[in-house]
Chain A
C-alpha cells in the first residue's frame, strides 16, 4: 500500500531533498516491516539532537521500526528528552504538555474512531518515566481504568533527564540524584503491576538491549490496544548523561538490569496467537 501523504506530487520529485525521496521510495509505510529488516529500508527517524549513547533515542528508533502500521499511527509524547526527538519522526506526533499525554491521546483516539470508523488508527503514548509515573500518573491510570484503546510505552531512564537528572518515582531506592541528595527514600513505582490491576490487557517489560523482543512486544502491545483495550510496555533505557557512565556502556547496563516480563490476558492471548506475532 502506498501512503498518499508520503507520495510526491508528479513534477516535484526531483526537487525534493534526498531524505524525502528515500522515505517515499524506501520507507516502511504499509510494508509490515520490523526489527529484522533494519538496515534494509529508510527508517522513520531522522537526525536528532539527543546525547551520544542515549538509550531512550535507541528505544524510539526500535519502536518506530516495529510499529505494525506506521502509516496509520499517531504518537503522543510529553515533555522530556522524547519531545526533542519526536518532530524528527515521520509519524504525526504531538507534544502535549507535561503529564497530560494519556488524556490527550484518549481524546485523539476517540476523534479518530469517529472520523475513520473503517480504519485502524493506532494512537501510541510514548513518554518518559517522570511523564507517565509521576506527573501523568492520574491520566495514565484513568485511561487504563476506562479501557481506552491506547498503547502506553514508558521509556524508563529512571530520572528526569531533560531537566538535568532529578530523581523520579521510577528511580531505584537509594539512588542519589538531584532532588534526592541523600538518596531516594522509596522503591521504584510498580507500574507493571499497577497496569495489570488497572485493566491493561497486555503488560510487558524489556530493555533497549533486547531489540527483537522489544520489537515483538511493541507489535503485540499495539495490536491488543487496537482490538481489545489498553496495553503497557515499559522499556528500560539507561541514561549515560545523568547516571554518569561511559556512552559505550548503555547496552551493557541495560542488559545487566533487564527484567523481562509479559502479562497477556486470555483474550489478548487468543488475538496474539491468531495474528502470529
Chain B
C-alpha cells in the first residue's frame, strides 16, 4: 500500500471527515501504536499520551460500556485501573453508558453518546479526551465525528487492535497496561526524582 500522507490531527476537519483507514492509515501491530496516523513504538505513544494529558487544559476520560458495567472480573479490574489513571492525570470523567440514540436529548454535562460525541465536547470545552472501554465500531464512529467537528485531541486505549481515527491509539490495553500508564503519568507529574 502507498504510504499515506494523511495526518490524524485535531479538527474541525470537514463537513464529513473521511475514515482514516480509507486514507491509508494502517493499524499498529502488537508492541506498536499510532500517533497522528504514523506507526511508532508503543513507548513513544505512551510518552506522548502522558505529555498530552499533563499539558491539557481540560482533559476528560470517556469510559464506555465495556468497563462501566461490571459484566466480568476483567471489566471491573480495568474500570478500577482507568479511574486511577484519570485521577493521576487530573482528568474528569464523563461516562458513555450505552449506544442508543437517546430521546429527546442527552445531558452533555453528564454523559457522552457515540452518535453525537461533539455535543459533550463542545459543552464542556474539552481539549483532550481518552476513549476506553467502547466497542470498536462505536469508538471509531465517535472519534471520527469528533475530528470532523471539534478541535479536541483524541486518545484511544483499545483492548483490541486500536483506532486509526484517534490521534493517539494504543492497542491490547487491559488493566495491567492501564496501571503501567498510570505509573508513567504519576512519575511525569512528580517530575524526575533527583
Interface residues of A (CB under 8 A from B): 4-12, 15-17, 20, 46-49, 87-88
Contacts and interface: CB of A to CB of B under 8 A. Distances in A.
A254 to B, nearest CB: 25
B189 interface: no
Contact of A47 (B67, B68, B76, B103): B103
A103 to B, nearest CB: 24
Contacts of B110: 15, 17
B103 A9 contact: no
Contacts of A4: 69-72
Interface of B: 63, 67-72, 75-76, 79-80, 83, 93-95, 97, 100-104, 107, 110-111
Nearest to A48: B103
B80 to A, nearest CB: 6
Given A5-B69, A15-B110, 6 more contacts: A6-B69, A7-B69, A7-B70, A7-B71, A10-B76, A15-B95
A8 B104 CA distance: 24
Contact of B79 (A11, A46, A48): A11
B134 to A, nearest CB: 14
A46 B100 CA distance: 11
A9 B95 CA distance: 12
Nearest to B81: A11
B186 to A, nearest CB: 18
A87 B99 CA distance: 9
Most buried by A among B67, B75, B103, B104: B103
Contact of B93 (A8, A15, A17, A46): A15
A17 B101 contact: no
A10 B70 contact: yes
8 contacts: A6-B69, A12-B63, A12-B79, A16-B68, A17-B97, A46-B103, A49-B104, A87-B101
A9 B68 contact: yes
A12 B62 CA distance: 12
Contact of A11 (B83, B97, B107, B111): B83
Contacts of A16: 68, 95, 97
Contacts of B107: 17
A49 B75 CA distance: 33
A272 B165 CA distance: 54
A12 B93 CA distance: 9
Contacts of B102: 46
Given A15-B94, A15-B95, A8 B68 contact: yes
Given A10-B79, A12-B95, A47-B104, A17 B69 contact: no
Contacts of B80: 9-11
B29 to A, nearest CB: 30
Contacts of B93: 12, 15
Contacts of B63: 12
Contacts of A47: 103-104
A229 B176 CA distance: 47
A7 to B, nearest CB: 4
Contacts of A49: 103-104
Contacts of A7: 69-71
A6 B79 CA distance: 15
B100 A9 contact: no
